[in-house]
Amino acid sequence: MLKEFKNFIMTGNVIEFAVAVIMAGAVGLVVNGFVNDIVMPIVGYFTGGVDFSNLKIVLSEAVVASEGVPEKPEVAIRWGAWVNTVVNLLLVGFVMFLIIRSYNKMKKPVEAAPAGPSDNDLLKEIRDLLSKK
């Protein structure tokens, strides 16, 4: 069983999948940084300095004890963070589209196999051979 597992792990598909997962994580971090550090501040600038990540609808306020320690945390719908996530998703999709598009342009076009004789041509050859006999 250990030998079979080793053979499975060492196949090209598993290695390629592992590399793809690691690269996806790295691309995700880059896109998150791009959204949070570049795109959202620009959007905030054009919306009057609004920071979307802090926008929320508070359902119940936090209850704070006398020492400043929260007894009960705030319950809120953080729709601004969701907006950031949607923008992130759209940017990841767009970046992946650009990568796949570039990859497809770089691929060598598949050449069509040379066309062989048609069925009619083969039948004519058979007829001619039979008529010679």
Interval 110-131: pLDDT, tens: 777 677 778 888 888 888 888 8
Domain chopping of the chain, boundaries: 2-108
Q: Are 31 and 95 in contact (CB under 8 A)?
A: yes
Please name which of 33, 26, 20 lies closest in space to residue 88, comparing C-alpha atoms: 33
Judge whether 47 and 72 are in contact, CB under 8 Å: no
Q: How confident is residue 77, by pLDDT bands cut at 50, 70 and 90?
A: very high
From the candidate CATH numbers 3.40.50.1820, 1.10.1200.120, 1.10.10.10, 2.30.30.60, the one assigned to the domain spanning 2-108: 1.10.1200.120
- Provide the token pair at 70: 């929260």
Q: One-letter amino acid identity for 13?
A: N
pTM confidence score: 0.53
Contacts of residue 83, Cβ cutoff 8 Å, sequence gap at least 6: 52, 55
